[in-house]
Amino acid sequence: MVREITILSGKGGTGKTTLTASFTSIAKEKIVVADCDVDAPNLHILLKPRVRAEEEFKGSKVAVIDKGKCIECMACEENCRFNAISNLEIDPILCEGCGLCVSICPVEAVKLEESVSGYVFVSETKYCPMVHAKLNVAEENSGKLVTLVREKARKLAEQKGRGLVLVDGPPGIGCPVIASLTGIDLAIIITEPTESGIHDLERILKLAEHFGIKRKVIINLYNVNMDNTRKIRELCEKNNVEVLGETPYEPLINEATVKMIPVVEYSPLSDVSKKIGAMWGKVEAELGF
Ligand code: SF4
Ligand code: SF4
């Protein structure tokens, strides 16, 4: 049976990807890793995947005019609320695929066609297989793409006999986060001791609880504001959520990131690497693998 863990945070830049990369470096052959932060993927910077297969992602539709049928009544151009049609040419970036032009065209000269919104990659890293994606500029539907990345990662884990998919999730609490949460075994939420960090944490805890997902918390930069760290610990206790661990402000993490290496590999004997190792040990014990 393949398990799935998603690493989440209320916003970007809270150490989510740094921790995912370090966990990947520790877990290696036990996992398949997936980057579901499809709007701003950056796990590849630390894991340096070599792409083995690439697939188009068709997540949206755009209108296409058949000039042979068009009688140039201009009804579509005059009624498109998104100003996507100019001189009977459709701008695929502005077209929202709403279908209005299709329904009002008197001669059925317009149809909606699927467009390529991005790409999904199946890759190899020196640690484990990786599934990741790229959404084209100005494209939406990142929730659908997250679901596709998760499906591919799960299938790959089954094929390769690996028991866990480790997901670097999207930040926030929007549609892509919901798509990355449903049906997983554990959500690990990274937070920081700031007022906004606490607010974001409350929202994600509620969201994960709503979907019946087991939750654990990691406090990043815990020593930057001990008052807020205490508030986070209290919030977790009140919600019956374990704080898996706390990582301090540590320049080594930045150094490792600049060198594009997971910190546990860059400085394996450092205090922060030991803390990360201990956290992963707890996760393995919790899921029993
Ligand atoms: S599908 Fe909607 S947005 Fe696109 S061109 Fe037609 S009316 Fe405009
Ligand atoms: S509504 Fe149909 S016929 Fe009229 S201009 Fe648009 S595509 Fe041509």
pLDDT, tens digit, 9 for 90 and up, residues 143-160: 889 999 999 999 999 999
Helix axes 226-238, 195-210, angle to 10 degrees: 20
Reported as a pLDDT band with limits 50, 70 and 90, residue 102 is very high
Q: Nearest CA to 33 among 124, 130, 133?
A: 130
- Measure 97 CA to ligand 2 centroid, in angstroms: 16
Q: Rounded mean pLDDT of the chain? A: 93
Identify whether residues 69 and 206 lie together within a single domain. Answer: no
Alpha helices in the chain (DSSP H): 16-27, 43-47, 75-79, 100-104, 142-160, 175-181, 195-210, 226-238, 251-258, 263-266, 271-287
Total count of domains within the chain = 2
Task: Express each pLDDT in 214-253 by its tens digit.
Answer: 999 999 999 999 999 999 999 999 999 999 999 998 899 9
Identify whether residues 125 and 238 lie together within a single domain. Answer: yes
Residue 18, domain extent: 3-57+120-287
- Measure 96 CA to ligand 1 centroid, in angstroms: 6
Please work out whether the CB of residue 84 comes within 6 Å of at least one atom of ligand 1: yes
Residue where a domain stops, chosen among 77, 96, 115:
115
- How confident is the model at residue 191, as a pLDDT? 95
Coil vs helix vs strand at 73: coil
Nearest listed ligand to the Cα of residue 105: 2
Identify whether residues 12 and 81 lie together within a single domain. Answer: no
CATH number of domain containing 92: 3.30.70.20
**Are 172 and 10 within 8 A, CB to CB?**
yes
Asked if pLDDT for residue 207 goes beyond 80, the answer is yes
Nearest atom in ligand 2 to 104's CA: 1
Nearest CA, atom 1, ligand 2? 105
Nearest listed ligand to the Cα of residue 109: 2
Task: Express each pLDDT in 31-44 by its tens digit.
Answer: 999 999 988 889 99
Identify whether residues 75 and 170 lie together within a single domain. Answer: no
